[in-house]
Structure 1
């Protein structure tokens, strides 16, 4: 099972721990970026990460989960691999007209017990949107997990839903107006899935 040091080493090995000046999907700026897709492109690494995420959820709670849901794009593979580790179905939410929704014929059974997953959380905005979609679709979110919580401990849970990130990795972030890297004249780049070409 991956421990936190091994997870960081995996990100470094796969070239997924980047340093520079980045514009995050949350709108914040940072000097560190975690490109999970570079880890998840290796099926054996994706499986290791998901197995460790699932193992970090208390057994009694884990045994109740009947589906895994994650927001596209970053959590598509994460949801799939966590679903495989749990032996349950997995699907994803995606944006349509700016709103997160279930598409592609995905639907929850009434009262379905769901694990919501993410690759990286900073503010938790996409995760909250995904939780709202699950709840509006008749599901009950039992737990939330992420590969890495980079929020500097700012997300203890999601409105009472327990949160089990595999790793809490405090990373410095700034609002654009207060970014020292911008002040120094360094341009911000957006390497995430919403900014990749």
Structure 2
């Protein structure tokens, strides 16, 4: 079911469609302007998960929607980038009784190392992130988990703003709660740049 908020069409894939749309419609989540996403693409709409991540009840609700799939994957560890999405990762780790590890971010904003040695060879690692655009960041997380001998059990993200086949990209099952109908484009094709609109980096802090 697709539900339209004031600024974006939301298709709930898991959970109650109205409740999912309400989360997206919260103040500060949808931000309009001229933004450069981590993937380097430009957009006029930035989705700030921090508008949701400070609400523990909302995080528990998202975890509830994902737990059915997660249980079948039997993860022992959770790995997330040290960004605003760590709030969701922490909630899921607590709910399933798994160890939580965080990934350091390199100068490009992508995961490039793990802050602890909690992930042991043979661990079943659940990757968690907030909003995905290209899936490149999740791919880096998968590489990190495997580099220390972990097995990627699955991926959970809150929302995808583009059609990305994460499962195929990292050879593991993946779910996300909602699809968002949002456009992004290469900088060379950006009409907002041509119009001289100030550009902001889409940086989201909890």
Question: Equivalent of 1:42, from 39, 51, 55?
Answer: 55
How many Å separate the matches in 2 of 1:89 and 1:12? 32
Over the residues paired in the alignment, what is the CA RMSD in angstroms?
2.0
The SS at the match of 1:13 is coil
Q: Does 2:78 match 1:68?
A: yes
Indicate the residue corresponding to 1:3 in structure 2. Answer: 16
Cα offset, 1:164, TM superposition:
0.5
How many Å separate the matches in 2 of 1:73 and 1:191? 12
Cα offset, 1:131, TM superposition:
0.7
Cα offset, 1:4, TM superposition:
3.7
Indicate the residue corresponding to 1:23 in structure 2. Answer: 36
- 1:155-166 matches, cutoff 5 A: 155-157=165-167, 158-166=169-177
Cα offset, 1:174, TM superposition:
0.5
The SS at the match of 2:113 is strand
Indicate the residue corresponding to 2:200 in structure 1. Answer: 189
Cα offset, 1:87, TM superposition:
2.1
Q: Does 2:101 match 1:91?
A: yes
Cα offset, 1:73, TM superposition:
1.0
Q: Compare 177-186 and 28-37 and name the one that shifted more.
A: 177-186
- Do the aligned residues in 1 keep the contact of 2:75 with 2:126 (CA within 8 Å)? yes
Q: How many residues align?
A: 189
Deviation string 1:33-73 (CA, Å, 9 cap, x unpaired) is 11001210111112212222333x26432xx1111111111
How many Å separate the matches in 1 of 2:87 and 2:75? 18
TM-score scaled by structure 2? 0.83
Please identify runs of 4+ aligned residues in structure 1 that moved more than 4 A: 96-99
How many Å separate the matches in 1 of 2:21 and 2:100? 26
Indicate how the Cα distance of structure 1 residues 11 and 25 shifts in structure 2: closer, same or farther if over 3 A, else same. same
